[in-house]
Structure 1
Amino acid sequence: MGIRALKLSHPAKSLNGTVRLTGSKSESNRALIIQALSGGKVRIENLSSAADTVTLQHALDTVVAGRLADGEAQQTVVDIGPAGTAMRFLTAYLSITEGHYLLTGSERMKQRPIGILVDALNVLGADVQYAEATGYPPLAIQGGFKQQTAHIRVKGDVSSQYLSALLLIAATLPQGINLQIEGELTSRPYLTMTLDMLAEAGIRHQWEADTISIHPQVASPCQLIIEPDWSAASYWYAMAALAEEANLFLPNLKSSSLQGDAAIVDIMAHFGVASSFEAGGLRIQKTTTHSEKELFDFKECPDLAQTVIVCAAALRRDCAFTGLHTLKIKETDRIAALQNELGKFGVKLVEDGAIYHLQTKGLCNPEQLAFDTYEDHRMAMAFAPLALIFNQVQINEPNVVEKSYPDFWKHLKEQGFVIS
């Protein structure tokens, strides 16, 4: 049974030294699918230790074991728990992999829509059916389909993971894929990451106007080196902004990153955190330089939203935020979760169409501050830095961090947080 709650404080209010982050979960999960489809040609270095990546790796091993076992007619159950990326990527991967599968997950996963991806796969020729509620997992997948067409149209403003899932399998299909993106594209950097990693494995593409084309081709032998996780780095940016003093070195982060969450460098410059790339990594330092910027757009980096919004609230910055429309279908309804937890210290996040306004005039310092995490790793890590502002905060169900950053609490202790 996991720890029910952790209490955090930071008497010194200063941060100094080196924090070694795990490999990027986003890069790792793409690399695992590319490796699985490469026939052993692709090797991976610095794979993430995040639970989502471990889950995906285990699922792929389960599929291989099932295919090697006798009686292929038997259904292989693949349970990915709360791992959203694994659900999307495996839906596409299993649809082209011989065998009969039931792809399922946690109760929350069964509430997260997947109909857009299933529809696109079935147009291509897949046999993916809903085992329970239409439009949602679990999925009954008869793998190894006969391709009917290469042309599909997919909405771009719901989840870039649908698009990435399709592009990851495209080169293995007899006709390849011509993927037309309908409407506005959300989280473009994640799609670019997918295409760049495919290119590292020798898989080429064409992207003209709203259509991405990948023709049938075979992966080349290569080694995919996974950069540390910029999403994990973002929490240290928030801590640097909220500390009285901060000078931290984050090894192996690169200025030319594939990860969209590297946008945190520019965003947090507006909140007094300076970034400098040195030999071997990134240094972040607290400064007295702030901007007056009021509107921040998270359309291309939605996973940074909770961290920045909570940080802005603690700094009493009445900012506005847009590009948050995908947050309601994540691990939890992240908008509602933010509104609930910010309210515990008197801050409001008010929805006005596509823009959300932070109102900090009621900010207070309650004697007891306990934050719920809603089975969402990012809620825990976004609110933990508040221990640098308030005397003590409590994080309920803290083990959720294992999903993407298993060493989070250990690293906080190394940086002087008192955790009990």
Structure 2
Amino acid sequence: MSNILISKPDARLSGEVILPGSKSESNRALIMQALCEERVEIRNLSEAADTVTLQALLDGRDRNQVLDVGPAGTAMRFLTAFCAVTEGEWTLTGSKRMKERPIGILADALRQLGADIQYLEEEGFPPMRIRGKRLDKASEVRIPGNISSQYISALLMIAPALPNGLSIHLSGTIGSRPYIEMTLAMMGELGIRHEWTGNTIHVGAQRYQPAVLSIEPDWSGASYWYSMAALCEEADLTLPYLKQQSLQGDREITKIMEAFGVRTHFSAGGIRLSRGETAAGAWESAEIGTGAGETAARGIAAGETVARESASGEREIDFIHCPDLAQTVISCCTALRQNAVFTGLESLKIKETDRVEALQNELGKFGARLIENAEGNRWELDTSGVFIPEAAPVIHTYHDHRMAMALAPLAIRLGPMEIEDKEVVVKSYPTFWKDLDKHGFKMAAAQINT
């Protein structure tokens, strides 16, 4: 397992960063392409390992095959639904961690529709044997809205192929709503109509139509550069091809990072990030500049806010609709020694690792404390003890790409660090270390003794 020792000799960033295509959009596009009976062209498909895995499994499948997704959680969820409606017998499996990640809620919903799904080891977890067939037992399901948007997206994408369509009733709070909206918008590009009334989404029986799907660069990947800009004294970065009107929920990083003094300037060609010495990392209340003489609302949807001031006067950030930003923002707060309160982290506990516990462990190496309340729905970051370690700490990544990329920017403020298992970033951003090298980070190989 190869490690990397990283440092940043100055606190300045400038230049251009070409981000990979969105993994979230790419994986949805591949499933829709496979469900369409005619040609769907995909442009700028992500080179992320998860997408490469999903594409290989879809391209190489036959009617009686073991599909091993490895650590690709999105592929597991999407293929579970896809295989259920595709003729053949499939054994769907994955890595050791994947076998610990629950799939029962999605499998139960598919069984209600008539799916033939059998667990091969532990009930409610992969691996599974799935016999694909026509699902006509029911035309509606009820599913929790706050567990995983990937379950909902998986059901939505197969809905047009069901003989009576599908109505999905979402119970409770709807989390990661932008990811559901992304799925529906992409389905719309292929001619699929839907109705979303209250907490019910209905998709009638239809056929996907041939079209071209163009994949936007990854806003999750952009979030790491926002963090770096926030930690620098000066930053002037260009990220081409990102859109102001994006399908990706992680565009919320533009609003969150405005509080750290990072300005976003939109243009037809992408975005420019700027930060000057006047901001100095202070919490600000200004609206985000769009570069077009307008301001953007501070919220994900009408009436909702992603960042606000808590009753105690600290900044409170809600990640319910953008959980993949949590590690990046919490790490950035640590390096800036900004106490804050966080909500909407519940889904982080069933990701590649328990991301909350992982953050508590690794940020603790710099003296930060991430404290969970008794109800498990609110976390307070205490940065009063944050320090710069005398020796470079070893940052464990827990086989989680976002742990590596979220903590790497801390080298700007908190000194050199050794990041475990540098190859883990290939899951979503294969050129991450090369891009850091181009922008002034110093890196050297290191080898952990295990």
TM-score category of the 2 structures, normalised to the smaller one: over 0.9
Give how far 1:279 is off: 3.0
**Sequence identity percentage:** 56
Query: For residue 386 of structure 2, what is the amino acid of its counterpart?
Result: L
Partner of 1:291: 283
Report the 3-state secondary structure (helix = DSSP H, G, I; strand = E; otherwise coil) of the residue aligned with 1:389.
Answer: helix
- Residue 79 of structure 2 is aligned to residue 90 of structure 1: yes
Partner of 1:302: 323
1:194-226 superposed Cα distances (whole Å, 9 cap, x missing partner): 000000000000111111111111112210100
Query: For residue 348 of structure 1, what is the amino acid of its counterpart?
Result: R
Partner of 1:394: 418
Match of 2:383 among 360, 375, 397: 360
1:230-280 superposed Cα distances (whole Å, 9 cap, x missing partner): 000000000001112110000000100000000000000001111000230
Cα distance in 1 between the residues matched to 2:59 and 2:136:
25
Cα distance in 1 between the residues matched to 2:134 and 2:210:
26
Query: For residue 355 of structure 1, what is the amino acid of its counterpart?
Result: R
Cα distance in 2 between the residues matched to 1:388 and 1:365:
11
- Residue 164 of structure 2 is aligned to residue 175 of structure 1: yes
Cα distance in 2 between the residues matched to 1:365 and 1:387:
10
Question: Higher mean Cα deviation, 375-384 or 279-288?
Answer: 279-288
Q: RMSD across aligned C-alpha pairs, in angstroms?
A: 1.0
Partner of 2:17: 19
- Residue 206 of structure 2 is aligned to residue 217 of structure 1: yes
Cα distance in 2 between the residues matched to 1:207 and 1:249:
36
Cα distance in 2 between the residues matched to 1:80 and 1:159:
18
Show the 5 A alignment for 1:70-85: 75-85=64-74
Match of 1:230 among 219, 222, 229: 219
Match of 1:58 among 42, 56, 59: 56
Question: Higher mean Cα deviation, 345-354 or 87-96?
Answer: 345-354
Give how far 1:13 is off: 2.2
Cα distance in 2 between the residues matched to 1:215 and 1:41:
21
Partner of 1:185: 174
Give how far 1:387 is off: 1.2
Query: For residue 161 of structure 1, what is the amino acid of its counterpart?
Result: Q
Cα distance in 2 between the residues matched to 1:146 and 1:42:
24
Moved over 6 A (4+): none
Report the 3-state secondary structure (helix = DSSP H, G, I; strand = E; otherwise coil) of the residue aligned with 2:37.
Answer: coil
Query: For residue 90 of structure 2, what is the amino acid of its counterpart?
Result: Y
- Residue 115 of structure 2 is aligned to residue 126 of structure 1: yes
TM-score (norm 2): 0.90
Query: For residue 340 of structure 1, what is the amino acid of its counterpart?
Result: N
Cα distance in 1 between the residues matched to 2:198 and 2:442:
52
Query: For residue 15 of structure 1, what is the amino acid of its counterpart?
Result: L
Give how far 1:4 is off: 1.7
- Residue 440 of structure 2 is aligned to residue 416 of structure 1: yes
Contact 2:135 2:162 in 1 (8 A): no
Partner of 1:200: 189
Give how far 1:12 is off: 2.6
- Residue 398 of structure 2 is aligned to residue 374 of structure 1: yes
Cα distance in 2 between the residues matched to 1:337 and 1:61:
35
Cα distance in 2 between the residues matched to 1:257 and 1:127:
37
Match of 1:281 among 267, 270, 273: 270
Query: For residue 398 of structure 1, what is the amino acid of its counterpart?
Result: K
Cα distance in 1 between the residues matched to 2:10 and 2:230:
15
1:85-143 superposed Cα distances (whole Å, 9 cap, x missing partner): 00000000001111111000000000000100000000001101111100101111011
1:127-173 superposed Cα distances (whole Å, 9 cap, x missing partner): 01111100101111011134111011111110010000000000011
Show the 5 A alignment for 1:137-148: 137-148=126-137
Cα distance in 2 between the residues matched to 1:6 and 1:36:
38
Contact 2:368 2:386 in 1 (8 A): yes
Query: For residue 321 of structure 1, what is the amino acid of its counterpart?
Result: F
Question: Higher mean Cα deviation, 164-173 or 281-290?
Answer: 281-290
Give how far 1:390 is off: 2.6
Where does the alignment leave 5 or more consecutive residues of structure 1 unmatched? 68-74
Contact 2:337 2:383 in 1 (8 A): yes
- Residue 349 of structure 2 is aligned to residue 328 of structure 1: yes
Give how far 1:61 is off: 1.3
Partner of 2:312: none
Contact 1:62 1:78 in 2 (8 A): no
Report the 3-state secondary structure (helix = DSSP H, G, I; strand = E; otherwise coil) of the residue aligned with 2:222.
Answer: helix
Give how far 1:389 is off: 1.1
Give how far 1:361 is off: 0.8
Match of 1:339 among 353, 360, 370: 360
Question: Higher mean Cα deviation, 164-173 or 286-295?
Answer: 286-295
Cα distance in 2 between the residues matched to 1:41 and 1:49:
21
Cα distance in 2 between the residues matched to 1:321 and 1:390:
22
Where does the alignment leave 5 or more consecutive residues of structure 2 unmatched? 285-308, 310-314, 445-450
Report the 3-state secondary structure (helix = DSSP H, G, I; strand = E; otherwise coil) of the residue aligned with 1:171.
Answer: helix
Partner of 1:71: none
Question: Higher mean Cα deviation, 141-150 or 379-388?
Answer: 141-150
TM-score (norm 1): 0.96
Cα distance in 1 between the residues matched to 2:379 and 2:330:
10
Partner of 2:292: none
- Residue 286 of structure 2 is aligned to residue 263 of structure 1: no
